[in-house]
Structure 1
Amino acid sequence: MNRSLFALMFAAPAAIVAPYAAAAEHPAQAQMQQNIDTVLKIARNTSLSEAQRVKQVESYADRYLDYERISALAVGAPWKQFTPQQKTEFIAAFKEMIISMYSHSALIGAADVKVRLLPKMTSNGNKFDVFSELQTKSGKKYEVAYQLYQVGPVYKIYNFRLDGTSLVTVYRNQFGELIKQKGIDGTIAAVKAKQLKKK
């Protein structure tokens, strides 16, 4: 998965340019449009330092990204073996690693990438897939699916897919190998040390 595109997808939920909005008929689509507009405003606020913009994006993202579910899906079956304390440590370390590795790319990319919401969406119970089209500066287009579930009036994001490639699947193999080699605590230490490969 292209690293800069990965960064843009993860940045709460997308530090991207939305030149025009598709008809946001469903509340999940309306929220995604609001997320995009809000993050764009922060990313383009040149009166703030990069660190301040990253902090504001992170604070906004905390309302909409379910880091616990993202972490559980990224680890896969071994997640059941984690103690509550290990889960807490892993979630915090994974979030910090993602922000550290990709925040700069996401803010830089915000000036060059265009995104529009697509009118299509799918649903299954309280789970929804909202789709967008991402266009790079070179004109290449990608489809991004944001996977959400509803909690009251809010739709929480628990996964992304870029042209069918799932964010949680991208990291699952790495975590699986780390757990085999270093155990759970060793894996948490590796994530804290940001020793995973960038995707």
Structure 2
Amino acid sequence: MNKLITLVCFLFAGLLPGVAAAAEPKAPDVLIRDVTNEVLEIVRTDVALRSGDIRRVVELAEALVLPHFDFRRMTMLAVGRDWRDASPEQQARLIEGFRTLLVRTYANAFTQYRDERVVFPPSRFAAADTRVQIRTEVVRPGAQPIGIDYMLEKGEQGWKVFDVVVAGVSLVTNYRSSFSQEVRSGGIDGLIRALESRNNALATEQGLAPAGAGAAS
């Protein structure tokens, strides 16, 4: 499952050549299809990625993924009702912490992709819709296909992913229970500390710079 979620996080790289330069915004299903195919080509051919270079994975994530995911909304969904009790500064730190957690948690698995391919079943939505669900399937040799649904919303900056459902499991709500427990035991600041602690542990494991270097404890 970690490998599949990793693929989700890196398939939406709209800054790649030929994608970001489009004059008109693409329909969400076309956007996901085109970008997915571009990113899979990088996965298959990038020497650093194939050799397990975690720094290269994080570099690509920071440069390519962030503009196309609504991390504020994703964090709101993951934190749940406790979000409204957080101050603007706390919210900013939660967003940064959750974003870093997603990138670093799945960085190792991303380097393991080899033969997976993605197919695109028809998606049904109206031209006037501003919130859509786009279906894809990851096909793996010798295994059952895994469904991945992208939840997107259209705003002033175009289509943004705010959740991904992998094999029926929501990426953001998957974290809600543990986040709620952290808030109950230590408040919003406790959750922030837990995120920063986990991110720094991952950074140490991966030989990366500590996360949230400028954040208070």
TM-score computed with the length of structure 1 as normaliser: 0.82
Structure 1 counterpart of 2:163, from 159, 168, 171: 159
Gaps spanning 5+ residues in structure 2: where?
14-25, 200-217
Structure 2 counterpart of 1:79, from 78, 83, 91: 83
Greater RCO (CA < 8 Å, at least 6 residues apart): 1
Report whether the alignment pairs 1:128 with 2:128: no
Report whether the alignment pairs 1:115 with 2:118: yes
Equivalent-residue separation in structure 1 for 2:81 and 2:87 (angstroms):
14
Q: Which residue of 2 aligns with 1:63?
A: 67
Percent identical among aligned pairs is 23
Q: Which residue of 2 aligns with 1:52?
A: 56
Equivalent-residue separation in structure 2 for 1:112 and 1:177 (angstroms):
38
Change (3 A) 1:27 1:153: farther
Report whether the alignment pairs 1:188 with 2:192: yes
Q: Give the 3-state SS of the residue equivalent to 1:63 in structure 2.
A: helix
Moved more, 32-41 or 69-78: 32-41
Q: Give the 3-state SS of the residue equivalent to 1:120 in structure 2.
A: coil
Q: Which has the higher strand share?
A: 1
2:163 is aligned with what amino acid? N
Equivalent-residue separation in structure 2 for 1:4 and 1:135 (angstroms):
13
Assess if the C-alpha contact under 8 Å between 2:139 and 2:146 holds in 1.
yes
Equivalent-residue separation in structure 1 for 2:172 and 2:165 (angstroms):
9
Q: Which residue of 2 aligns with 1:19?
A: none
Assess if the C-alpha contact under 8 Å between 1:31 and 1:155 holds in 2.
no
Report whether the alignment pairs 1:28 with 2:31: no
Q: CA deviation at 1:122?
A: 4.1
Equivalent-residue separation in structure 1 for 2:78 and 2:11 (angstroms):
18
Q: Which residue of 2 aligns with 1:42?
A: 42
RMSD: 2.1
Larger radius of gyration: 2
